[in-house]
Structure 1
Amino acid sequence: MSNPKHDKGEHYLTTPKAEPFLERVIFNNRAIILGLLALLTLFLGYNAIKIQPDASFERMIPLEHPYIVNMMDNRKDLENLGNFVRIAVEAKQGDIFNKEYMETLKQITDEVFYLNGVDRSGLKSLWTSNVRWVEVTEQGFQGGTVIPDNYDGSHQSLEQLRQNVLRSSEVGRLVSDNFKSTIVYAPLYEKNPETGEPLDYAEFSRQLEEKVRQKYEAQNPNVEIHIVGFAKKVGDLIEGIGSIAWFAGITIVLTTLLLFWYSRCIAGTLVPVVTSIIAVFWQLGTLRLLGYGLDPYSVLVPFLVFAIGISHGVQIVNAMAVEASKGFDAVTSARLAFRSLYIPGMLALISDAFGFLTLFFIQIDVIRDLAVAAGIGVAFVIITNLVLHVLIMSYIGITKRGVNHVQNRSSNKDRKWRVLSYFSHPGVAPISLLIAVIGLGLGVYYKQDLKVGDLDKGAPELRKDSQYNQDNAFIIDNYSTSADVMVVMVRTPKEQCTQYSVLRAMDALEWELQNTPGVQSTASLADVSKIVTKALNEGNWNWYAISRNQTIINASIRSAPSGLINTDCSLTPLLVFLEDHKAETLQTVVKRVEAFAQENNNDEHTFLLAAGNAGVEAATNEVISKAKDRMLMFVYGVVSLLCFVTFRSIRAVLCIVIPLGLTSVLCEAIMAVSGIGIKVATLPVIALGVGIGVDYGIYIYSKLEKYLIEGKTLQEAYFETLRSTGKAVVFTGVTLGIGVVTWIFSPIKFQADMGFLLFFMFLWNMVGAIWLLPALARFLLRPDRMVAKARAAE
């Protein structure tokens, strides 16, 4: 039974009916509940170890955005402009026109042809029959495959090959500008057309490394291979996930050591760690049962679930140690710890969950999957922290050494807590608020430079010196057509895509885009028509134009590549090759195309954005830009509402939420200064920082309110708050920060960015709760009204 005197000081935290009911249900059935939770752990743990990495091109794009809707609606007519890999085979010495190099290229082409997931009909290489050369002679057009029919590797056939390459349009596309490398272009199936199974990106990437890069670089020392494309990038990310196991181990070890230093109690150290790991296993097992895997973004959620479990477990250990130091036995200490913490604990965890669930505003499936995974994890932390943890500790209790440590800590740390209590002093509080206002002003000023989207070339998810980004840099430097392609879809009535008015409008848009910063080159059916018309007129540049004669136009596009015209001539793509996919580049091009479309769309032709990887990036950036502010408004609204329902005071809400708002502004300012854009990988951090960061304020305020209601002055009440829960809050902030700061060393760049930003937000939210909350309380709270309200409620 609990101590009556202690109950009197605690009963205001719960309603009279809810308190005994919850305690009786949990503590009067301890053995049964622990048995059921053990069975649940075995079942979900078995499923957790079977969960697999998962990635999908479609789940990483905003399927509901108009650009993506246009792309998906016309997907069958867009030849291989979505998911593909480009394999550049470089000759280290000499050029590509030698027998050994061409033999290696042939073998690589054959190897790629048989890889699972490759759309073999669209495979392109100098060795494939769909890569041809064309020239105009006195007899008319002549052409053939780039590889001569009689090719045998001799000097004569190699010279013929050189002539064919020069006569083709592949220089700068499949053949590098300096003739030292060529590309094997492999479009991919998102799902196997025979089995319907999704492409296994991890396995496909592994095959590219083993069967292509490693095999042929070892076989021919004069060859170096570079591979880029969405599938390879995702494969590298999944491979990087393997290193996360090391970070998980480091986090668990560091957390365990810090917990023991904090509690000096074996049970107080191991039980929070074990129950937090159990929450992670429950989460992973449930995700597998629901059909989810771990994609490169949601794989970080178990870290957060573990960290959240530890942060709340520390409060349980601290509260039990305090009660045990008063002479209570293990069961009573556990009951009293539960009674004092279950309302602020549940409030904090529900706030965490809503912080995650706000990510549903973002219409990208991987982010929504992250929200589901995190929401499930937090729901389980409520059980493992407030039920499983408490019940285990009710049997074990705090060791004598842990109790002595609490007693010694209380007597030795009073001086430091007394100093910190001056944050609520009438003379210090205004200074704190002034510093906060200055910080807010600086944050607002610097966050103006915050960009939405990628700010670096290559794959920003990976580090600049990663193999993928080195390969990407090679292709950008050596080919006229970059890996960043935006496709404008030109829709017309059937059999009308080759009309003069359509080609003339496309040519006009190309002219504007070619004079737009960030655009490398363009290609369309209009270019084919102009080139062929010139060729039909003895190569005279005066004829390099779109003819008004429809018969000439029809003749000029007769041999147009299949990718530039669909079967019923109702759609033709205009390809825009960009220098990079930085946010500014995409915004500039999108605005230019949208302005042109608004002025020129009519019944004859409609310009639609956008396909290609750059089109997907542009749509993603737009979705994130629109969702960011709405998401923040919702998360702050929900957190404020939950705090108001719990504490029944607008003033309490302001004390808790204002420090969070300052942290959010400063975080965005740091992102701007550090060159980190808001994107799929970093946007969740903002919501997570708010959802998890509110925990500190809730624990601090709940204790502060208690002591104010008891009649203490604000400074004295805050001093007692720091004595009882201050170290737990500080320890939680430091532990959470240390748990994620190790991510900075991850080979996955976005994990490093998330670690850096979460480290700042965890620590600064803790500082805000310790420093700014009492300063706000000095001006906002009315202790006399709080006491009167509490007495009236009794």
Structure 2
Amino acid sequence: MSAYQDKSANPAMPVIADVRDFDVKSGNLAERVIFNHRALVITLCVVATVVLGWFATRLNVNASFERMIPPSSPYVKNYLAYKSDLPGLGNTIRIVVENKTGNIYDKDYLEALRKVNDTLYLIPGTDRSWMKSLWMPIVRWRQVTEEGVVGGAVMPADYSGTRTSIEQLKTNISRANIIGSLVANDLKSSMIVVPLLDRTPGTGQPLNYGEFSRALEAKVRVFESDKVGIHIIGFGKIVGDLIAGLQQVMVFFGVSVLVAALFVFAYTRCLRSTALLVTVAVAGVVWLLGLMQLLGYELDPYSILVPFLIFAIGLSHGSQKMNGILQDVGRGTHKYVAARYTFRRLFMAGLTALLTNIVGFAVLAIIDIPVIRDLAITTSIGVSVLVFTKLVLIPVTLSYIGVSPAAAKRALAEDDETKQGRTLLARIWQGLDRLTERRGAIAAIGVALALTAVSAMAMRHLRIGDLDPGAPELRADSRYNRDNTYVTQHYGLSSDQFVVIMKTDQEGCRFYESLQLMDALALKLRETEGVQATGSLAQSTRFITAALSEGSGKWLTLSRDQALTNVAVSAAMIATPDITNQQCSVTPLIAYLSDHKADTLSRVLKVSEDFAGQFNTVDGTVHPTHFLLAAGSAGIEAATNIEVERGVLKMYLAVYGATALLCLLTFRSLRATLVAMIPLVITTILCKALMVALGIGLKVATLPVIAVGVGVGVDYALYLLSVQLAMQRRGATLAQSYRRALDFTGRVVALVGLTMAAGVITWAWSPIKFQADMGILLTFMFLWNMVGALVLIPALSHFLLNPKSQPPVAAPLTPHIKEQLHV
């Protein structure tokens, strides 16, 4: 029979009803400094909240195209190196102007198109030099006549709106071969392609996508009527819509606050303490936003989850303080003394949990995508803030306002009833107790292994990147995705462009050898599933060569006669100025893809890589030719997917390695570390299977979920195992130790899991789909980490930490754990 005897009172923390009987010099140095200067601590926190709140109001909400892509990727480096030579093949928007009552050869429609074109031309942030539309002189036609190759702007210089000038326009459009690209296949709409600048001219500031999108809505969308339709797509519009959606997201933040507060109130039944917890949690968010502004960060659609997360962590973990204070006050201890006791018991445990969270979030910084690094840093800053607001401000404030005496007595009575087995919670605890026995442990582990095996099979189908057409970040029925559907249905060439850059010496793009290789690659790409068409200097040269020979099909080729090829290339450069750069050394090969799904990008990328590896020539040869990947929206997304795929393994190793190391330092036991880590690994596998079931790809928006889930989930194991191991070291059986851990921290673990899940599940109704996806995944991870900890820790402990079959853990018992055991 065990020699262990439980105690309900701690001699080091006696019940003190009169604060005058309390020794204010007791406790460690941190406790004495904080509580002996309570007024100063609260004053400093209030001042910090006011000052940082003012800075928080100045925090910008924006996004950057280049911060969404991995700068160290060789493909992105190629794009950035030749960006100035590839106008319109990176960050662009496309505006389609539709004639709802006829076709484009209509005077009123053409006048509306001109007004839209001129309005876009004047909006700050547009690269006016490379805008393309029927009204821009850069869009040209060409024709071979007896006098040679002739051409001009598609829009006649003397256009007047008369039937004759419209007929001339119609002729020029057919000569320019732009039907399917700038003109819809059904001739009922035309497109304006607008490359965007990284910085706003005049101010030199980064382009504000929120303002740019609002300008499009206010100045361009206003032309929409029962006769004219406006459809806008592109990265700038996606980000603009996401930023606009953030205003609605703030409503969900308010709902999260309310739902989480209700959960805490249902647990404490104390209005004043619940109000305090909510206020301090909001203050933590204010501190974070203010610090972000001071450090030069911006809120973007991908980091908007950080304030939500910090609030949920702050509120749910603050309830731990309430647990101890309610118990002490219920026994008759003065509120000031109870606050100090709680600080004394939980400061080190809470600090350890927060440090684990910080490390779990910080490891995301190894992903070479700036927006993810920003999220890692800002989340770590937010959790660091909780050290002051959660661990210090809450107990100090409670030492003044205390808790409701009725709530304290009720909490104590409920605790006694639970220990006596007279409540539903007690029956649940009794069921969990049985998991420390061999039969229950085998059953629990068996079910976990079965779920893990099935999920491991399912997660093999997890894809990197987007799985849906359009903008998966937005709802399928959003205005943007409806616009994208219209463009896809009416234009032969999509906006998903994968660009391979052909690099040669100056004037090297004119040589037959280089053009022939480009033509061969274009052929391979057209034969690849998912590629609609290709466009390149080689293809234009072929058609012009045939045109110079009276249109004979026999001459639809690349001529080895350099003089003839020079003429054809020069004609192509005049007709299409952006078909190569002025030095004829950087020439894009554009593949128009049916979509930007992960599988499509992988196929196109492999074909291009294989071709480049086989045919890239060595510098110093007669006509050196290098095919470099990649530009275009699809090419850059493919590079981003590669970085996500590479980074996810590094992230797993870092987050699990760091978490395991912290657990090892805390428990000083390899077996205990395994007990803590196994439920986290299982939850990650289940979460990835859920992503497959929900059709969610692993990408920039969803990658942080795993680290967040692990960083927060390990707290449950810390709470439970710290008490369980301490009890075992005192001689208690595994069943007694685990039951004591449940009595002391079990309700807090359940509350934390439920509160955090309740705080993020509201995201599921967000207008921003990727935030809804994150809300669902985080809810799943918070709940399953909680269930996994409550169920698997006793079951795994039976085999790994049972003193009957294993030697006792030799780690020393820390003072704060000793004190916790006598609450």
Q: Which residue of 2 aligns with 1:738?
A: 758
Q: Which residue of 2 aligns with 1:597?
A: 612
Q: Could you tell me how far apart the structure 1 residues matched to 2:352 and 2:44 are?
A: 25
Q: Could you tell me how far apart the structure 1 residues matched to 2:785 and 2:43 are?
A: 38
Q: Could you tell me how far apart the structure 2 residues matched to 1:270 and 1:695 are?
A: 24
Question: Counterparts in 2 of 1:99-118, with a 5 A limit?
Answer: 99-118=107-126
Please report how far the alpha carbon of residue 782 of structure 1 lies from its aligned counterpart in structure 2 after TM superposition. Answer: 4.3
- 8 A contact 1:338–1:390 mirrored in 2: yes
Q: Which residue of 1 aligns with 2:363?
A: 358
- 8 A contact 1:135–1:142 mirrored in 2: yes
Q: Which residue of 2 aligns with 1:89?
A: 97
* Higher mean C-alpha displacement, 185-194 vs 758-767: 185-194
Q: Within the alignment, does 1:420 sit opposite 2:432 as a pair? A: yes
> Which amino acid letter does the alignment assign opposite residue 351 of structure 1?
T
1:682 to 702, 711, 717: 702
Question: Counterparts in 2 of 1:316-465, with a 5 A limit?
Answer: 316-413=321-418, 414=421, 415-416=426-427, 417-465=429-477
> Which amino acid letter does the alignment assign opposite residue 601 of structure 1?
N
Question: Counterparts in 2 of 1:715-726, with a 5 A limit?
Answer: 715-726=735-746
Q: Could you tell me how far apart the structure 2 residues matched to 1:65 and 1:151 are?
A: 47
Question: Counterparts in 2 of 1:547-566, with a 5 A limit?
Answer: 547-559=559-571, 560=573, 561-566=576-581
Q: Could you tell me how far apart the structure 2 residues matched to 1:566 and 1:283 are?
A: 47
- 8 A contact 1:267–1:393 mirrored in 2: no
Structure 1 residue matching 2:136: 3-state secondary structure = coil
> Which amino acid letter does the alignment assign opposite residue 593 of structure 1?
S
Please report how far the alpha carbon of residue 506 of structure 1 lies from its aligned counterpart in structure 2 after TM superposition. Answer: 0.3
Q: Within the alignment, does 1:302 sit opposite 2:307 as a pair? A: yes
Please report how far the alpha carbon of residue 278 of structure 1 lies from its aligned counterpart in structure 2 after TM superposition. Answer: 0.9
1:194 to 194, 202, 214: 202
Q: Within the alignment, does 1:271 sit opposite 2:276 as a pair? A: yes
Q: Within the alignment, does 1:575 sit opposite 2:582 as a pair? A: no
> Which amino acid letter does the alignment assign opposite residue 586 of structure 2?
L
Q: Which residue of 2 aligns with 1:225?
A: 230
Structure 1 residue matching 2:629: 3-state secondary structure = strand
Please report how far the alpha carbon of residue 323 of structure 1 lies from its aligned counterpart in structure 2 after TM superposition. Answer: 2.2
- 8 A contact 1:51–1:294 mirrored in 2: yes
Q: Which residue of 2 aligns with 1:5?
A: 11
Structure 1 residue matching 2:392: 3-state secondary structure = helix
- 8 A contact 1:347–1:643 mirrored in 2: no
Q: Within the alignment, does 1:256 sit opposite 2:264 as a pair? A: no
Q: Could you tell me how far apart the structure 2 residues matched to 1:59 and 1:327 are?
A: 57
1:709 to 713, 729, 737: 729
Q: Which residue of 2 aligns with 1:475?
A: 487
Q: Could you tell me how far apart the structure 2 residues matched to 1:231 and 1:634 are?
A: 34
Structure 2 residue matching 1:298: 3-state secondary structure = coil
Please report how far the alpha carbon of residue 521 of structure 1 lies from its aligned counterpart in structure 2 after TM superposition. Answer: 0.8
* Higher mean C-alpha displacement, 476-485 vs 186-195: 186-195
Q: Could you tell me how far apart the structure 1 residues matched to 2:162 and 2:112 are?
A: 15
Structure 1 residue matching 2:304: 3-state secondary structure = helix
Structure 2 residue matching 1:387: 3-state secondary structure = helix
Please report how far the alpha carbon of residue 756 of structure 1 lies from its aligned counterpart in structure 2 after TM superposition. Answer: 0.5
1:50 to 36, 53, 58: 58
Q: Could you tell me how far apart the structure 2 residues matched to 1:341 and 1:503 are?
A: 71
> Which amino acid letter does the alignment assign opposite residue 558 of structure 1?
S
Q: Which residue of 1 aligns with 2:693?
A: 673
Question: Counterparts in 2 of 1:506-655, with a 5 A limit?
Answer: 506-559=518-571, 560=573, 561-603=576-618, 604-655=624-675
- 8 A contact 1:500–1:546 mirrored in 2: yes
- 8 A contact 2:616–2:627 mirrored in 1: yes
Equivalenced residues, count = 783
Q: Within the alignment, does 1:134 sit opposite 2:134 as a pair? A: no
* Higher mean C-alpha displacement, 328-337 vs 536-545: 328-337
Please report how far the alpha carbon of residue 672 of structure 1 lies from its aligned counterpart in structure 2 after TM superposition. Answer: 1.2
- 8 A contact 1:486–1:575 mirrored in 2: yes
- 8 A contact 1:122–1:186 mirrored in 2: yes
Please report how far the alpha carbon of residue 299 of structure 1 lies from its aligned counterpart in structure 2 after TM superposition. Answer: 1.3
Q: Which residue of 2 aligns with 1:60?
A: 68
Change (3 A) 1:399 1:786: farther
- 8 A contact 1:635–1:690 mirrored in 2: yes
- 8 A contact 2:470–2:484 mirrored in 1: yes
> Which amino acid letter does the alignment assign opposite residue 89 of structure 2?
L
Please report how far the alpha carbon of residue 51 of structure 1 lies from its aligned counterpart in structure 2 after TM superposition. Answer: 0.9
- 8 A contact 2:200–2:206 mirrored in 1: yes
Q: Could you tell me how far apart the structure 2 residues matched to 1:477 and 1:62 are?
A: 32
> Which amino acid letter does the alignment assign opposite residue 552 of structure 1?
L
- 8 A contact 1:504–1:546 mirrored in 2: yes
> Which amino acid letter does the alignment assign opposite residue 571 of structure 1?
V
- 8 A contact 2:464–2:645 mirrored in 1: yes
Q: Which residue of 1 aligns with 2:5?
A: none
Structure 1 residue matching 2:570: 3-state secondary structure = coil
Q: Could you tell me how far apart the structure 2 residues matched to 1:398 and 1:775 are?
A: 37
Change (3 A) 1:18 1:452: farther
- 8 A contact 1:421–1:722 mirrored in 2: no
Q: Which residue of 1 aligns with 2:241?
A: 236
Q: Which residue of 1 aligns with 2:621?
A: none
Change (3 A) 1:680 1:792: closer
> Which amino acid letter does the alignment assign opposite residue 150 of structure 2?
Q
**What is the TM-score of this pair, normalised by structure 1?**
0.96
* Higher mean C-alpha displacement, 414-423 vs 557-566: 414-423
Q: Which residue of 1 aligns with 2:797?
A: 777
1:490 to 499, 502, 518: 502
> Which amino acid letter does the alignment assign opposite residue 216 of structure 1?
F
Q: Could you tell me how far apart the structure 2 residues matched to 1:791 and 1:284 are?
A: 39
Q: Could you tell me how far apart the structure 1 residues matched to 2:270 and 2:157 are?
A: 80
Please report how far the alpha carbon of residue 6 of structure 1 lies from its aligned counterpart in structure 2 after TM superposition. Answer: 4.4
Q: Which residue of 1 aligns with 2:32?
A: 24
- 8 A contact 1:67–1:611 mirrored in 2: yes
- 8 A contact 2:509–2:584 mirrored in 1: yes
Please report how far the alpha carbon of residue 87 of structure 1 lies from its aligned counterpart in structure 2 after TM superposition. Answer: 0.4
Q: Could you tell me how far apart the structure 2 residues matched to 1:20 and 1:787 are?
A: 27
Q: Which residue of 2 aligns with 1:763?
A: 783
Change (3 A) 1:484 1:527: same
Segments of structure 2 that go 5 or more residues without pairing to the other structure are 1-7, 16-24, 619-623, 819-823
Please report how far the alpha carbon of residue 688 of structure 1 lies from its aligned counterpart in structure 2 after TM superposition. Answer: 0.4
Please report how far the alpha carbon of residue 383 of structure 1 lies from its aligned counterpart in structure 2 after TM superposition. Answer: 1.2
Q: Could you tell me how far apart the structure 1 residues matched to 2:163 and 2:699 are?
A: 52
**What is the TM-score of this pair, normalised by structure 2?**
0.93
- 8 A contact 2:361–2:711 mirrored in 1: yes
Please report how far the alpha carbon of residue 69 of structure 1 lies from its aligned counterpart in structure 2 after TM superposition. Answer: 0.5
Change (3 A) 1:787 1:602: closer
Please report how far the alpha carbon of residue 707 of structure 1 lies from its aligned counterpart in structure 2 after TM superposition. Answer: 2.6
* Higher mean C-alpha displacement, 685-694 vs 721-730: 721-730
> Which amino acid letter does the alignment assign opposite residue 132 of structure 2?
K
Q: Which residue of 2 aligns with 1:119?
A: 127
> Which amino acid letter does the alignment assign opposite residue 614 of structure 2?
E
Q: Could you tell me how far apart the structure 2 residues matched to 1:501 and 1:81 are?
A: 25
Change (3 A) 1:535 1:254: same
Structure 1 residue matching 2:190: 3-state secondary structure = strand
Q: Within the alignment, does 1:314 sit opposite 2:303 as a pair? A: no
Structure 1 residue matching 2:460: 3-state secondary structure = helix
Task: Give CA deviations for 1:285-304 in whole Å, capped at 9, x if unaligned.
Answer: 00000111101111110000
Change (3 A) 1:331 1:106: same
Task: Give CA deviations for 1:70-92 in whole Å, capped at 9, x if unaligned.
Answer: 11111111122111111001111
